[in-house]
Amino acid sequence: MEEQKKSKKNKIHTILNIILSIIAVAGISYAYFAADIRNSETTSTIFGDAGEMVINYDGGPNIVVGQMTPSNDPFATKKFTVTGNSSITSTMYYNISIIKESNTFTDYGLAYNLTSTNTNNNGTIIPSSTKDLCYFLTGEGEEVLGNGTFTGPTNGNKVHTYTLKLYFPDEEYQIENQSKSFEFYISIREGEKTASECKQIPSIGDLILANNGGAENITEAPTSLFDSINTSDENKMYKMEDDYGDSYYFRGAQSYVNNNLIFAEHQWKIIRINGDGSLRIIYNGTCPGNSCTINTTGTGTHMMLPSDNSLYNSSGTSAYNLTNRDDNKYVGYMYGGANGEASTSRLQATTNETDTHIKSYLDEWYKINISGTNYENYISDTLFCNDREIDTSYGTGLGYAQNQTGYMARYRLYTNKTPSIKCNDQNDRFTTINYNNLSAPGNNKLDYPIGLLTADEGSLAGLKNGSSNSTNYLYTNQIFWTMSPYTFNSSDAYVWSVLSDGRLDYDGVNLARGVRGVLNLASNTPITGTGTTLDPYV
């Protein structure tokens, strides 16, 4: 009785102590783990002024985890009940927490889910998780799952049932969690606590925006900015509206802009956060094992195909359209009719039925490096713009056969210095057959969701027609293609390119130029890092 009174006075008792130990086994692609969850007793009791609460564990005190590998199934499940019994009119309060004594896993490396049942419909239970998973951050701490109550008199035992599931999600980033460990225990105590937020993996855009001052502090650039190249130490993020909403883009010098990213064992430069929340990235080289030195110049920044591929080129270059250049249709990423067949109307010239050579090259690279891998799950089908809208201030304005024709990217960047990332014609919005966005419908003509930089995006980044720029983050000391049409001058089709001195210019479509493909990463792609060359986003 004296002990019971003492318990009443203290009112705080340890309910259970569940310890999870994880030990990595070296020498395999993912770490394998042996784990044991156990508590010191199968039943614990809290005595309070209003009554008593008893904790029971289903299936005994231990959960043994054998070979734990990344999986979308739980690696451990613990079911327990809290039973309340009170003979007086009063409320008994309790809270449940996960105490992290140590955790060397990366942020979002481990997760949990709680399912709750008010078995006898008395009082309130801690709500079940409203998200599929709640994630742990690295380090020590406490995750308060919430508060429950029993309402007296209970007229006998009333039960609250909980099932806690622990997850080691099957994601590519888990390779970083080899040789990591953590320990936690679950604590059920009398009283109330403020519940912790169910932590979610931040969107890729939110993290980048946070690292660059936050969306609320990012403004549109003054229109005069695009009449100049970036300064040698410029490091800016501005916003501009695209076909989906507000897009946030990087502008500045290679040594200062923190837009480096590692994905799929290749390195990339982030161009912008698209208005749909996806991330547009341009190729910058290989990165075996997702660990490498960031390239600055050279043909290593080009996409290479295997030497046994029919499109192989040792320097990673390709003609925009091989062999033929004598028709307006060859400014297209795709075009109407066969290669070598003259177009007879603008509609026929812009019908998307035949691949250009560079599209075939990019498709081959995607098939070899992305298609069928887990990385493909993180690719967004955001549109690529091959803007074939006609500039009526130049040439005939006809846009087919050998009629002299200018295209709107020339007007925007050569004449006016007013870049745009809107794509006005649905026929020029290249998307795959799976694309379904009613706010910006695409042409659904791509085999694979890969494309090229637009000249307008080059202008946003800090490049300019007619001005060399060796400091910009897109500069590689190589010539490489964009997918923006320039002109047809009565004999040759021209498309915008970035020259080896870092200026925006144009090239005949039959010339071999560097291939720096562009992908869009889905907004839910998990990344860590700060984007610097020494700590790229991964």
Query: DSSP string of 238-307?
Result: EEEEBSSSEEEEEEEBTTT---EEEETTEEEEEEEE-TTS-EEEEEEEE-GGG--PPP-SSGGGS----T
Q: Name the residue with tokens 């004296």.
A: 2
Q: What string of H, E and C letters represents the secondary structure of 430-484?
A: ECECCCCCCCCCCCCCECCCCECCCHHHHHHHCCEECECCCCECCCCCCCEEEEE
The residues, any chain, with a CB within 8 Å of residue 323's CB and separated by 6 or more, are: 339, 340, 510
Write down the pLDDT at residue 20: 32
CB 379 within 8 A of CB 449: yes
> Higher-confidence residue: 482 or 6?
482
The answer on pLDDT for 34 being more than 60 is no
Contact call for residues 320 and 495 (beta carbons, < 8 A): yes
Alpha-carbon distance 435 to 428, whole Å?
Answer: 14
* Confidence at residue 2, expressed as pLDDT on a 0 to 100 scale: 42
- Mean pLDDT lowest among 20-24, 190-194, 343-347: 20-24
Contact (Cβ atoms closer than 8 angstroms) between residue 492 and residue 485: no
- Tell me the pLDDT band of 283, cut-offs 50, 70 and 90: very high
User: What is the SS3 assignment for 341?
Assistant: coil
The CA-based angle 281-286-291, given to 5 degrees, is 95
pLDDT at residue 202 in the model: 83
Is the per-residue pLDDT at 395 higher than 60?
A: yes
What's the CA gap between 111 and 135, in Å, rounded? 4
- Residue 119: strand, helix, or coil: coil
Amino acid in the structure at residue 346: R
Q: Give the pLDDT band of residue 492 (cuts 50, 70, 90).
A: very high
**What percent of the chain is modeled with pLDDT above 90?**
75
H or E stretch covering 217: none
- Exposed / middle / buried, residue 26 (Cβ in 10 Å: 0-12, 13-18, 19+): exposed
pLDDT grade for 462, boundaries at 50, 70 and 90: very high
Helices and strands of the chain, counted as H and E runs: 6, 29
Alpha-carbon dihedral 377, 381, 384, 388, rounded to 10 degrees: 150
> What average pLDDT does this structure show over 110-130?
96
- For residue 345 the two structure tokens come to 């109307």
Residue 384, both tokens = 């690529």
This prediction has a pTM of 0.78
Backbone φ and ψ of 26, nearest 5°:
-80, 165
The two tokens of residue 28 are 């395999």
Structure token pair of residue 302: 């080009």
Between 438 and 159, the more confident residue is 159
* Calpha distance 404→397 (Å, rounded): 7
Structure-block tokens of residue 363? 């498709």
Tell me what pLDDT residue 77 has: 85
Query: d(Cα 417, Cα 151) in Å, to the nearest integer?
Result: 71
